[in-house]
Amino acid sequence: KINPLENILNKSIKNNVIFVSGAAGSIGQEICSQLLNLNPIEIILFDISEASLYKSLENLNSLNKKNILLTPLLGCATNYKLLTNIFINRRVNIVFHAAAYKHVPLVEINPIEGIRNNIFSTQAICRASKETSSVKKVILISSDKAVRPANIMGASKRVSELIIQGYAEEFNFENPPKVFSMVRFGNVIDSSGSVIPLFKKQIQKGGPITITHRDIYRFFMTIDEAAQLVIQAAGIAKGNEVFLLDM
C-alpha cells in the first residue's frame, strides 16, 4: 500500500466547498469519505442515480464525525445549465469529476451513450467551471485505457483529457490560474469497474481466467489509494498535468 502525504491531502480541501460528480459510484463515494476528514465547508454529492445517491448519503452520514455539510443533488453531469446553477449558488471551489461509464464491454455495445456521458459531461463540467468565478480547480478522473486507446471507453476518456488540457491552456495565464488537471487510474480493487470480481468468479469455477493477452501486465491499486491520489492531485496541481500512482 502506498501511503499519502498528509500535508498535500489537506492542502486544497480545508475551508473549501467541494463538488463530486458521480458521488454515488465506488470511486466518488470513497473520495467523499476521505474528504470528511479534511475539514471542507461542504461536500456536494452529485449523481444521476437516486437509489445509489441515497445509499451513498446514508453511508457517508454514518462516517461524518465532524458534521461536515453533505448536500445530495440529483442530476446529469452533461447538464451545463444545472451545473452552472449549482456551482454559482453553492459557491463551489474544487470540482472532482468522477461521473463516467467505465465498463469497456458495455460501452462497446452502447458507444453513442458512452461518448455522450463521458465526453459531453467533461465539456459541461469545464464550461460551468469556466463561468463560475469561485471554482479554483477541476480534477478529471481518467483511465489508463486512455493511453493509445483500443476501445470506445478509452477513446472517450482520451477526448475528455484533451478537453481538460484545452481549458488548462486557456486559463494557464490567469493570475491566479484556474487549474484543470487529470488523474489516470489503473485497475482499482473493489471499484464498480474492477475486473477482480470477474477473476474471482472464474477462479472459483476452476478457470479459465479471461485475460486480454498471456504477456500482459496488470497493475492494481486499492480504492482508498485511488481516492487519496485524486485528493493529493488537487493539492499539487498547477494545471495541465496527468497524475499517476506509481504501482
What is the C-alpha separation between 13 and 35, in angstroms, rounded?
7
User: What pLDDT shows up at residue 167?
Assistant: 94
What is the C-alpha separation between 202 and 213, in angstroms, rounded?
16
Cis peptide before 176, with omega less than 30 degrees from 0? yes
User: What pLDDT shows up at residue 188?
Assistant: 67
User: What pLDDT shows up at residue 21?
Assistant: 97
Q: Which residues of 121-160 are buried (b: 16+ CB within 10 A; e: fewer)?
A: bbbbbbebbbebeebbbbbbbbbebbeeeeebbbbbbbbb
Catalytic residue, from 145, 157, 200, 205: name it.
Answer: 145
Q: Return per-residue pLDDT of the chain as tens, 247 residues.
A: 566 566 666 778 999 999 999 999 988 999 999 999 999 999 999 999 999 999 999 999 999 999 999 999 999 999 999 999 999 999 999 999 999 998 888 999 999 999 999 999 999 999 999 999 999 999 999 887 888 888 999 999 999 999 999 999 988 777 777 999 999 877 766 665 567 777 888 899 998 888 767 776 767 777 788 788 888 888 878 887 787 766 6
The full DSSP string for 158-195 is: HHHHHHHHHHHHHHTTSSSPPEEEEEEE-EETTSTT-S
145 is catalytic: yes
